[in-house]
Amino acid sequence: KKGSYDHFMQKEIHEQPHSLTTTMRGRLKDSGVLLGGLKEHIKTIRRSRRVVFIGCGTSYNAALAARPFMEELTGIPVTMEVASDLLDRQGPIYREDTAVFVSQSGETADTLLALDYALENGALCVGITNTVGSTLSRRTHCGVHINAGCEIGVASTKAYTSQIVAMAMLALAVGSDQISTQARREAIISGLSSLPSNASEVLKLDAEMKELASSLIDSESLLVFGRGYNYATALEGALKVKEVALMHSEGMLAGEMKHGPLALVDENLPIIVIATRDACFSKQQSVIQQLLSRKGRLIVMCSEGDASAVCPSGSCRVIEVPDVADCLQPVINIIPLQLLAYHLTVLRGFDVDQPRNLAKSVTTQ
């Protein structure tokens, strides 16, 4: 079933041009998006006072990537909940809330318990899942199957990018009554239709990521700095590295750098800075300058052609990725980091598809 690939994680990373296509199949129209499962609920979602995204691990990170465009396109405040933390706090959930549950398997215990809790509190419950017939799919009021195809590797890869795309379509559908964002929505729809070919393009970085991985095999830790649309990319890139390559890694909000993390910077600690083109670009340029002035060992991810704009001194290692609609950039930016985590794992001699101590579906608390 792995075909010409050595591991499922590798196969699933390389499958993304296809899985993104199947996620969007039949749902993207020139005039807007059509999500069969949500038709009857869109008006209720529009009227909600708040959207609460709930998930665990990679699915939480996908929701975090969706938060900025959900807020932008709908004008509804969006809050984030790690499922276990919502349960620990018994945090407030109201009838006027739309609770969006994100889960690849649809069987994660904490996510399902959070769903029971939100149902008891009267919220409209929406599922975003890869698994038709899963408990999540059955117990939510409505939802979207991401149709990414079965994911076997324990580390979630293609489900992450398809979850973001499914939530982009959700945001477009909920925001479709807003005249002021019509042009923006059209640009995002056009960006979505190009994503599979952008994903094929970025997968060509495979050999470069293998080479980068070989320069990092003996590192003890890897930091990843992102902000704005790509804060989620930083968290998710770091999660992939820690869970499969068994290397300590932290994703950090670049805006928090001076509030603590800067103390870690020296000439040895590798730091990935995500600095692709968006409204935060000049802030990231200044973060890079500040890290370089402390002799940081930088790997900068930037848009194609931006190497000298992000690192004029030429002292950083640069990963150039295709430029896509700013809010969809996380779908492309995570792919080189998935490849990096994959190669790092193989080179360090660990089990890629079955990382130590982990299970594909966490059905116990």
Q: How far is the CB of 364 from ligand UD1 (least distance, A)?
A: 21
Residue 253 interacts with, from ligand F6R, ligand UD1, none (CB under 5-8 Å by kind) = none
Q: Which is nearer to ligand F6R, 10 or 59 (CB)?
A: 59
Q: Which is nearer to ligand F6R, 56 or 280 (CB)?
A: 56
Q: How far is the CB of 235 from ligand F6R (least distance, A)?
A: 11
Residue 233 interacts with, from ligand F6R, ligand UD1, none (CB under 5-8 Å by kind) = none
Minimal CB distance to ligand F6R: which residue? 57
Q: Which is nearer to ligand UD1, 104 or 140 (CB)?
A: 140
Q: What is the dihedral of CA 204, 205, 206, 209, to 10 degrees?
A: 180
Q: What is the dihedral of CA 297, 303, 307, 311, to 10 degrees?
A: -50
Q: Which is nearer to ligand F6R, 16 or 156 (CB)?
A: 156
Q: How far is the CB of 362 from ligand F6R (least distance, A)?
A: 5
Residue 142 interacts with, from ligand UD1, ligand F6R, none (CB under 5-8 Å by kind) = ligand UD1
Q: Which is nearer to ligand UD1, 129 or 329 (CB)?
A: 129
Give helix 158-174 / helix 182-203 axis angle, nearest 10°.
170
Q: Which is nearer to ligand F6R, 4 or 364 (CB)?
A: 364
Contact residues toward ligand UD1 (CB under 6 A) are: 36-37, 127, 129, 132, 136-137, 140, 142-145
Is-contact 55 64, C-beta < 8 A?
no
Q: What are phi and psi of 7, to 5 degrees?
A: -140, 155
Q: How far is the CB of 138 from ligand UD1 (least distance, A)?
A: 7
Q: How far is the CB of 61 from ligand F6R (least distance, A)?
A: 8
What is the gyration radius of the CA atoms in the chain, in angstroms? 20
Distance CA 249, CA 242 (A): 6
First-last CA distance in the chain: 31
Distance CA 147, CA 203 (A): 21
Q: How far is the CB of 98 from ligand F6R (least distance, A)?
A: 19
Q: In 127-205, which ranges are continuous DSSP H helix?
A: 135-139, 158-174, 182-203
Distance CA 242, CA 126 (A): 30
Residue 140 interacts with, from ligand F6R, ligand UD1, none (CB under 5-8 Å by kind) = ligand UD1
The pair of three-digit structure tokens given for residue 256, joined into one six-digit string:
């928090």
Torsion-angle region of residue 106: left (phi > 0), alpha (psi -120 to 50) or beta?
left
How would you list the strands of the sheet with 78-82, edge to edge? 78-82, 50-55, 97-103, 124-129, 142-145
Residue 362 interacts with, from ligand F6R, ligand UD1, none (CB under 5-8 Å by kind) = ligand F6R
Q: Which is nearer to ligand UD1, 55 or 143 (CB)?
A: 143
Residue 32 interacts with, from ligand UD1, ligand F6R, none (CB under 5-8 Å by kind) = none
Q: How far is the CB of 145 from ligand UD1 (least distance, A)?
A: 4
Query: Around Cβ 87, how many Cβ atoms within 10 Å?
Result: 18
Distance CA 289, CA 146 (A): 40
Contact residues toward ligand F6R (CB under 6 A) are: 56-59, 103-105, 108, 111, 155-156, 239, 243, 361-362
Is-contact 320 209, C-beta < 8 A?
no
Q: Which is nearer to ligand F6R, 57 or 196 (CB)?
A: 57
